[in-house]
Amino acid sequence: MNFKHKYVFLFPGLFVLIGILIFPIIFTIRLSLSGWNSYTPEMNFIGITNYIRLFTDDPRFWESFFRLSFLSVTTVILQYIIGFALALIVWREIKFKRFFRVIFLIPMMTTPVIMTVIWRTFFHESLGPVNDLLGNLGVEPILWLSDPVIAKFTVIIVEVWQWTPFMFLLLLAGLLSLPKEPFLAAAIDGASSFRKFVYVTFPLMAPISIGAIIIRLIEASKIMDTVFVLTSGGPGTATETSSFYIYIKGLREFQMGYAATLSFTYLVIMIISLTIIAKVLTKLMIKE
């Protein structure tokens, strides 16, 4: 079969792919080699000057990157643990199972930015209800948003609340698709609930867990809206993440060329690190 017209049919898809993926990447690479900023808004060529600046003279980017790593790994681990626990609860035959399944999904269905505004109100240090309630219990007001360390955990709390349902959904789907026999066999062998979880449920769920963790890690490494609304990267740069820093450089300071350098470097680092993480997780969790 020699069907030459196939390229005609492939073209629409290819066109979209070029338009939304390949062109922007190539454009970003070209832009990163330019000094485009608000004084000289033109696509000149300055070689790898921007890259030299990034690797020798920009600790703020690397700090934001390690902060991002900490935030995304912590939130995803917490989401995985809580999501798995919730999924295990409603997986069994319990009363109002359907009701709980829907309830657990609600955070994911809300708009992140709006929810973050609500969270910001909750955590407001003098007007918010959280400190008010804690005050009734005799707890000193906590600086949810203005203490550099606590602010990080505030971001984590909001992120975990918002995205645990996604983890829950994937893991519940995984649990529901597991074969029955291994559980019956474990029951016959007299295994306790703990042993059943360790030797049956968890190993069977490993492939799904890896998928869910990787998807969430990719999503979490893009943390932007939560930080933007909740703390604007503050106090100081205490909650600034890579994407937020790139946003500041590009769209606030209009250093387009340098922001493109940051974006491209960030993309390369993410591709490499997520590939390594996926490999390591597979090795750790699936013993094939």
Partner 1 sequence: MAKIELSNISHTYNPNDTNPTYALNPFSMTWENGKRYAILGPSGCGKTTMLNIVSGLVRPSKGKILFDENDVTDLITEERNIAQVFQFPVIYNTMTVYDNLAFPLRCRNFSDQKIEERVKSVSDTLRLSSFLKSPARKLTADQKQLISLGRGLVREDVAGVLMDEPLTVIDPDLKFRLRRNLKEINEQYKTTLVYVTHDQNEAMTFADNIIVMDQGEIVQVGLPKDLFERPRTTFVGYFIGSPAMNLFETEASSNDCVKINGTLIKTNTNLSKLKDKKIKLGIRSEFINLAEDQKHNLLSVEVDKVEDLGNYKLLTAKMGELTIKSKINREIEVPSSDVKLHIPADKCCVYDNEILI
Stretch that binds partner 1, among 26-34, 139-147, 187-195, 216-224 (CB under 8 A): 187-195
Q: Which residue, 150 or 191, is less far from partner 1 as judged by CB?
A: 191
| Spatial separation of the C-alpha atoms in residues 104 and 163, rounded to whole Å | 11
Which ranges constitute the DSSP H helices of the chain?
6-17, 23-32, 49-57, 59-91, 97-109, 112-122, 129-136, 148-176, 181-189, 193-196, 202-220, 225-230, 242-247, 256-285
Q: Does 42 bind partner 1 (CB under 8 A)?
A: no
CA nearest 258: which of 250, 248, 266? Answer: 250
Q: Are 145 and 158 in contact (CB under 8 A)?
A: no
CB of residue 285 vs partner 1: minimum separation in angstroms? 10
- Decide if residue 207 touches partner 1 (CB under 8 A): no
Residue from 15, 103, 113, 189 touching partner 1 (CB under 8 A): that is: 189
Q: Between 86 and 205, whose beta carbon lies closer to partner 1?
A: 205
Q: What's the closest the beta carbon of residue 287 comes to partner 1, in angstroms?
A: 6
The alpha carbon of 42 is separated from its chain's Cα centroid by a whole number of angstroms, namely: 34
131 is written with which tokens? Answer: 């400190």
Among 59, 109, 188, 252, binds partner 1 (CB under 8 A): 188
Under rule CB under 8 A, residue 199 binds partner 1: yes
Choice from 112, 128, 182, 211 touching partner 1 (CB under 8 A): 182
CA dist 53 and 104 (Å) reads 46
- Does 190 bind partner 1 (CB under 8 A)? Our answer is yes
Please select the residue that binds partner 1; options are 54, 86, 200, 248, rule is CB under 8 A.
200
Q: Of 175, 236, 230, 162, which Cα lies nearest the Cα of 201?
A: 175
Q: Is 93 in the site for partner 1 (CB under 8 A)?
A: no
Contact footprint for partner 1 (CB under 8 A): 181-182, 184-185, 187-192, 195, 199-200, 203, 287-288
